[in-house]
Amino acid sequence: MKKVVTFGEIMLRLAPPGHLRFSQATSFEVVYGGGESNVAVSLANYGVPVDFVTRLPRNDIGECALLELRKRGVNTTHIIYGGQRLGIYFLETGAVSRGSKVTYDRAHSAMAEIEPGMIDWPRVFEGAGWFHWTGITPAISQGAADACLEAVQVASKLGLTVSTDLNYRAKLWQYGVSSESIMTQLTSYCDIILGNEEDAEKHFGIKPAGLDVTTQGHQVEAAAFLSVCRQMMKKFPRAKKVITTLRGSLSASHNTWAGVLYDGKKLYESAQYQITHIVDRVGGGDAFMGGLIYGLLKYPNNDQQALDFAVAASCLKHTIKGDANLVTVDEVEKLMGGDASGRVVR
């Protein structure tokens, strides 16, 4: 199997223990993660050869992030160094009717100060068959956006499958540009596009016909998103598949979770999972993307199976503390087969 390459920022995550508020915290739990690094960890867990590319500072905190990636089996050979600091985000974990909060501290991070020309993309893509990026990377800075464009152009020229998770982050688009023009250019190189209803609307003004998802609660109907998929394919004719995650929120602790995949002709729908006691939902979309890439590689002629794997993998991520999805293929396939008992394996 050819390797997968992911590109983005890995950060230091600091969170008060349990469900404490920031104002109650006397200590913070340490986790390392980020959208694209989380996808890389998922793929490594599934036995897929994967490289993560980023820019790290040469200090102890950058080294800790590097060690976390290596521990999980991710190749870090093409990571470059420079800058003074690793990006940080603070997470306050919500419960019941109180939602979680994220506060970013990533201005002037090593990755935010990356520039085109710093990464030798033809060398990075040697032996690769797939390149993945997310909408988080171009939101960090103009330099990161330019480096991402450089990457997708080289990957496209070399014939790699290019995928994106649109991942709209309002708190990050702060350097004086709108996301639409940048994301439209980048997404035009993509074969596989993942997003949710908010991503498509915020980036491109595309939304489900006749549906306001903010008032739907947990009643999320898959068929309502066919119009989103069709509009996305019309806007991005290179795309072979458009995938939408469907999260229904009864509370911060209880969500429903499902997905749809559209191949230009047929809309595939997954089963809907009830996630009743969420441990950590951060990274749930990344777990979906990692599962989707694996599924599309393993089941190249079975989009339903690939979608089902992605949804089940992400469902399991909600039971795991931290950013990354630390599950095996066997565990995902067990849930796909209908075993959600959680019985002890002896």
User: Would 322 be classed as within a structural domain?
Assistant: no
Q: How far apart are CA 164 and CA 225, in angstroms?
A: 18
C-alpha 282/C-alpha 92 separation (Å) is 11
Residue 76 belongs to a domain? yes
193, 207, 244, 288 from 227: Cα distances, Å:
15, 8, 11, 21
In a domain, 59, yes or no: yes
pLDDT of 73 strictly over 90: yes
* pLDDT for position 215: 46
The pLDDT of residue 213 is above 70? no
- The span from the CA of 328 to the CA of 141, in Å, is 35
Please check whether residue 292 lies inside any domain of the structure: no
Query: Does 43 fall in a domain?
Result: yes
- Residue 329 falls inside a structural domain: no
Answer with the residue of higher pLDDT: 94 or 210: 94
Tell me which H or E stretch contains 12: strand 11-15
Domain for residue 180, yes or no? yes
Range of the domain at 223: 3-243
Q: How far from chain centre, in Å, is Cα 115?
A: 22
Q: Is 236 among the domain residues? A: yes
In sequence order, the β-bridge partners of residue 242 are 193, 262
List, in order, residues 6 or more apart from 172 with CB less than 8 Å away: 104, 136, 139, 140
What's the pTM? 0.94
- Give the pLDDT band of residue 343 (cuts 50, 70, 90): low
Q: Is 60 exceeded by the pLDDT of residue 48?
A: yes
Q: What is the pLDDT of residues 261-315, one digit of tens each?
A: 999 999 999 999 999 999 999 999 999 999 999 999 999 999 999 999 999 999 9
Share of the chain above pLDDT 70, in %: 95
Per-residue pLDDT at 105: 94
pLDDT at 336: 94
Q: What's the total number of domains in the chain?
A: 1
- Which CATH number does the domain housing residue 183 bear? 3.40.1190.20
